[in-house]
Amino acid sequence: MRNKWLIGGLIVSVIANLLLIGFVVGRLAGHPPMGPGGDPTMGYMRHLRALPEARREEVMPIVRGHMHGVWGDVRGIRRDQRALLDAIVAEPFDADALSAALERLQGRLTEAQSKSHAAFVAVVTKLTPEEREALADAMRRPPRKPPRP
């Protein structure tokens, strides 16, 4: 019985140490630049906060109008993610069911991204050349780290 507690304690200790090391390395490394597979339009709305309030009031209804349809997609994406996880752990395992779940998820993600890109184009169309330049500059910079307490 004592050996089981020692082994359990050792496992918990190793896991805790690995988590701590991962946290420290992650904090020290910061955010790497976006790789070739990333979508640079992701999170562009936060960059729009830099616009003067009057311009934000003109642009944000366009964003809200286009993005309204995306929220339904988010529910579907979550449902498809759960189906994917269920297919992974299903017994007996069915590779065809897993492939079908992945295909459904990919289709839903692509549809949501297309809607997001349409909103992006509609918003950028309304920006002045200076505002477009500022948006592009903001999108080139890696995300800032949150301030440390």
pLDDT in the model for residue 23:
58
Spatial contact of 93 and 13, defined as CB atoms under 8 Å apart = no
In Å, how far from its chain's centre is CA 40?
11
Separation between Cα atoms, residue 61 and residue 67, nearest integer Å: 10
The three-state secondary structure class of 48 is helix
Residue 108 or 68, more confident: 108
Q: How far apart are the first and last CA of the chain?
A: 44
Spatial contact of 47 and 99, defined as CB atoms under 8 Å apart = no
Separation between Cα atoms, residue 140 and residue 134, nearest integer Å: 10
pLDDT digits (tens, 9 = 90+) for 28-73: 554 444 444 567 777 777 778 778 888 888 888 887 887 777 777 8
Residue 105 or 142, more confident: 105
Spatial contact of 44 and 120, defined as CB atoms under 8 Å apart = yes
Residue 97 has pLDDT above 70, yes or no: yes
Separation between Cα atoms, residue 57 and residue 39, nearest integer Å: 26
- 101 — phi, psi (to 5°)? -65, -40
